[in-house]
Structures are given as structure tokens and as C-alpha cells.
Amino acid sequence: MKKLFIVLFTIGSFSTTEALSQDLNTFFDEADAFFQGYVSGGKVDYKSIHANTKQLDAVLALAKSISVPKSEAKAYQAFWINAYNLSVIKGIVDNYPLKSPLDKKGFFDTTTYELGSSKITLNDIENKKLRANFNEPRFHFVLVCGALGCPPIIPMAYTPSNLEYLLQQQTVKALNNSEFVRVSNKKVAFSEIFKWYKEDFTKEGSEIDFLNKFRKEPVPANAKVTYYAYDWRLNSI
């Protein structure tokens, strides 16, 4: 009887794992198709999505019951990055037209979404699901808050297989973009992202030390650091 129980438990475990893998892969595929269809040039076609929310609603419905363990780090991170970016779009579309995500009170810290078998806010995804569990400052260059001040959204989904490549690619792009990091003489003006999340960028040195890990043309270590105002206008096509 004990051996039979073990066999049945093992079969059940494999079945559950296989089902999760299938659901997660379907989510990644559908998210990828959605981003390809509505994202271009780092901006989102909110008007078209608002006219027909069927595809967005279907992708988020898939995400509702998926629960990825933290031990599956790449799958977990990819799931929550996509969930965040999709939910930002959902929040904007639900309140469209908007000039800025800040036009909707509580956009980031009050409005909840049913994701990963829980009700969760955008801030909770960023801070509790991702930042609290991983020492990964590059998250800030792939989580897109719906504003022009954010690093640009890409027309594809993050997956376990492309996650590392895309984290690196998007960070390098942002930190070598003269609109995002403004260098002149012996001064460097950072996005306010670096001010709000300074602890993420200074764990192993200064903000400039972090910046120069990704810069093609390094910034002098003694450059004066300032921050420019965040552009909260909607990142709409």
C-alpha cells in the first residue's frame, strides 16, 4: 500500500508539473502574440486595444491561475515581468483615454489584478514579487510603467530562455541612450528611477560604477550626479 501511495503521489506530482508547464508556455506564447500585435517603437497602441480588449483579457485570464515557484527563478521572473507590463496596459485601457497613468488615482498602489492565484497591485509585483526576492537591478529596465519616462516596452514576451539576454539588452540600450542618461561635461543626469531605487543600484558601488558596467563610453567616476524630472506622459502610439 505504501509503495502504491508513493507511485500515485509521484504520478500526480508529474501531472501537476506538466500542467503548470503547459499553462505557462501557453501564457508566454499568447503574451508574445499580444505584444507583437500592439507594441511598436517602444510604445503601445492603446486606442486599438481599447476598441477590442479580447486578446488582452484572454492573456490575463491565463495568468490568473498560474502560480510559478520562486525556485524556478527564470520562469518566475519572466512570468511576473510580463504580468506587470500586461497589467499596466490593462489599467490604462480600462480608464482610456488617459494622458498619464497618474491620471488614475491608485494606479500603482491600489488597483488590483488577479494574477498568479492572488489579487495584487502593480507595486506589489515590482517590490514584493521581484525586488524582494532577487538582487537584480536590471528589472528596472524591463518593467514598463506606461509612461514615456520608462525604458521602452518591447514587442515580445519575456521567457525563461530569452530572459537573461533581454535583461542585458534592455539595460545596455537604456544606459547608452542619451535621452535616458544625459552626460555633459563632468555631469551625468540620471532618470529619477535611479533616485527612487538608489539602493538597487549602489549595492556594489556608486551609481556611476553601476552605469559604467553597461556604458560603451564610461562616465568619469567624479562626475556630478543629478536627476532629471520623470516624463509621466502616456507611452502611446
Below-70 pLDDT ranges, the chain: 1-20
Specify the pTM: 0.91
Query: What pLDDT is recorded for position 5?
Result: 45
The span from the first CA to the last CA of the chain, in angstroms, equals: 63
Specify if 56 maps to a domain.
yes
Specify if 201 maps to a domain.
no
Specify if 150 maps to a domain.
yes
Domain count for the chain, please give it: 1
Specify if 54 maps to a domain.
yes
Query: What pLDDT is recorded for position 21?
Result: 75
Specify if 51 maps to a domain.
yes
Specify if 19 maps to a domain.
yes
Specify if 184 maps to a domain.
no
Q: How far apart are CA 138 and CA 131, in angstroms?
A: 10
Domain extent for 34: 2-175
Query: What pLDDT is recorded for position 18?
Result: 64
